[in-house]
Chains A and B, each alone.
Chain A
Amino acid sequence: MTPGSEISAPPSARLAIEQVSKSFETSRGRVHALDKVSLQVAEGEFVCLVGPSGCGKSTLLNMIAGLEQPTEGTVAAAGEPIRGPSRERMMMFQESALFPWLDALGNVMFSLKRKPGLTDQERRETADYYLKLVGLEKFRRANIHELSGGMKQRVALARALAPNPRVLLMDEPFAALDAMTREQLYGDLQRIWAQRHVTIVFVTHNVREAVCLGDRVVLFSPHPGRIREEFRVDLARPRDINSVEVAGYATRITRTLKDYLEHGAGI
């Protein structure tokens, strides 16, 4: 069995978020992170959630991951309510969250460790396959502290892809990288997404990044977090973040966002 062949019969991975609210108790009182948010994500779709900080987009992502539970409403994957984390929905964070006590290969293999029915040999081969996919086959034995920020996120991407999840959840994964590295990763991510037919929910506060990557851009407003508007991005792929078309879309979305921030508090 080659590592890629197991994707032949994908289960439906559509995400259904229905009337979800979430509030926390903090030292400064009750915070309403999300208020009655509904969102559908189709199989294989690339959706970007955009909004200023405090709009609850990361909270929503954590709920899809199963790391947090909604206060009200339901979050379902493939028709099943989400009760906890699953290898079907892998997550990437702003920090790579790679384990420093393992090398690059060990980190990718960790995500396969708890996957049943694999021999160690198969785990190693699968991990190697994904390290190659992100262009790091030469660094399989590298220590994490020896990798650059961009390489760390590539390893984290390989680690997230290795258990062959149907959904990839990305929480500002490129925000801490320099512009050049980021642009390379935009290209890689679009290529891998097209190859793997994986559903991606991508959180960012960078509107241009969202337009460059997403089929759809969902705009959030803060306090409490609500969905304001959705934009479908009908541009050919692969897209270049510096292209005029991407800039045009981004300008329109940014203008809408600013309107909400300046006048929209009462809407």
Chain B
Amino acid sequence: MKRLLSAFLFFALLVAAWHWAFAAGIWSPVLVPSPESVARYLWEVLRDGTLWDCSVVTMKRLLAGYVIGLLAGVPLGFLTARVQVLRDTLGVLALGLQGLPSVCWVPLALLWFGQTEGAMLFVVVMGTLWSVILATETGVRNVNPLYVRAANTMGSRGLHTWVFVMLPASLPFIVSGMKQGWAFAWRSLMAAEIYVTILTGFGLGHLLHYGRELNAMEQVVAIMLMIVLIGLLADKVLFSPWEKFLHRRWGTGK
């Protein structure tokens, strides 16, 4: 309750400061919109359904790419950790490409896939995949070998050991890789949506882009707020349960 209150006070103060800054009239209203106009815009797009539709389009793209990245990344991470040849090849590739800002995939995706959903999906998968591979590889290589020996004496072999011992044992690393992959995917998707107009779906990035074209600063700021909110929500829904589980079981953090 106390934490909720302090958070509320903090954000109320932030909005109040913004309001006063606007009211002082130092900057042109074209550059710094008032919190009221941003709220008004948000209310409008919420009522006519634009905001919801755009958010759904964006989230669909993000989730589809993210899930593909995870489903491919975790097994590939396992393989790079266990097979020397793959570590020297795929592992190095993953390390290199993970360092590449995922926005850099946008021009390539456009040329390969054109202005299609395929381009969006490709960019998101590239954002997710390499982080997940690397995190899983690190996780698997850090599994206490004693766990595997103990599991072997208890009749666990092969795939059973991978799924029920190595996978949960490397969970702390995999979850942080999932978070990083999510952050990269989110950033790259926004970049793609801002740069690329796709007729099959109008996402939040497009809304932001048209706000700039129309010089509608309240739209730009409102959509930025939405993007931040979705990021926070994803953290709470997707990762908080995992992190709570890790903290409870491993006794790490607080």
Q: Which of B124-171 contact A (CB under 8 A)?
A: 144, 146-147, 149-156, 160, 164-165, 168-169, 171
**Judging by beta carbons under 8 Å apart, are B251 and A97 in contact?**
no
A115 with B171, Cβ < 8 A, contacts A91-B150, A93-B146, A97-B147 known: no
Q: Which of A53-92 contact B (CB under 8 A)?
A: 65-67, 84-87, 89-91
Write out, one digit per residue, whether chain B residues 16-34 have a CB within 8 A of any chain A CB (1) or not (0).
Answer: 0000000000000000000
**Judging by beta carbons under 8 Å apart, are B146 and A111 in contact?**
no
B interface bracket (residues with beta carbon within 8 Å of A): 20 to 34
Our pick among A90, A103, A113, A144 for the contact of B153 (Cβ within 8 Å) is: A90
A255 contacts which chain B residues (CB < 8 A)? none
Q: Does A178 make an interface contact (CB < 8 A)? A: no
Q: Does A100 make an interface contact (CB < 8 A)? A: yes
Across the two chains, which residue of chain A brings its CB closest to B252?
A145
Q: Which of A102-155 contact B (CB under 8 A)?
A: 102-103, 110-111, 113-115, 143-146
* Alpha-carbon distance between A115 and B150 when the two chains are bound, in angstroms: 15
Q: Does A172 make an interface contact (CB < 8 A)? A: no
Minimal beta-carbon separation of B70 from chain A (angstroms): 19
- B153, B169, B250, most chain A CB atoms within 10 A: B153
A65 with B153, Cβ < 8 A, contacts A97-B146, A143-B249 known: yes
**Judging by beta carbons under 8 Å apart, are B168 and A99 in contact?**
yes
For chain A, the count of residues having a C-beta within 8 Å of the partner chain is 29
Our pick among B147, B155, B164 for the contact of A87 (Cβ within 8 Å) is: B155
A67 with B149, Cβ < 8 A, contacts A101-B169, A144-B249 known: yes
A163 contacts which chain B residues (CB < 8 A)? 154-155
Q: Does A43 make an interface contact (CB < 8 A)? A: no
**Judging by beta carbons under 8 Å apart, are B251 and A146 in contact?**
yes
Minimal beta-carbon separation of B115 from chain A (angstroms): 45
**Judging by beta carbons under 8 Å apart, are B251 and A85 in contact?**
no
Our pick among B150, B153, B168, B171 for the contact of A89 (Cβ within 8 Å) is: B153
Minimal beta-carbon separation of A63 from chain B (angstroms): 13
Our pick among B150, B154, B155, B249 for the contact of A101 (Cβ within 8 Å) is: B249
B249 contacts which chain A residues (CB < 8 A)? 100-103, 143-145
Q: Does A95 make an interface contact (CB < 8 A)? A: yes
Q: Does B248 make an interface contact (CB < 8 A)? A: yes
Q: Which of B159-192 contact A (CB under 8 A)?
A: 160, 164-165, 168-169, 171
Across the two chains, which residue of chain A brings its CB closest to B251?
A145
B250 contacts which chain A residues (CB < 8 A)? 100-101, 145
* Alpha-carbon distance between A101 and B146 when the two chains are bound, in angstroms: 15
**Judging by beta carbons under 8 Å apart, are B165 and A99 in contact?**
yes
B164 contacts which chain A residues (CB < 8 A)? 110, 113
**A97-B144, A99-B169, A111-B155 known, 12 other contacts, Cβ within 8 Å:** A67-B152, A85-B153, A87-B154, A87-B155, A91-B153, A93-B146, A97-B147, A100-B169, A101-B250, A103-B249, A159-B154, A163-B154
Sample (9) of A-B pairs whose CB atoms are under 8 Å apart? A67-B152, A86-B153, A86-B155, A91-B153, A97-B147, A113-B155, A114-B154, A145-B250, A163-B154
Task: Name A's B-contacting residues (CB within 8 A).
Answer: 65-67, 84-87, 89-91, 93, 95, 97, 99-103, 110-111, 113-115, 143-146, 159, 163
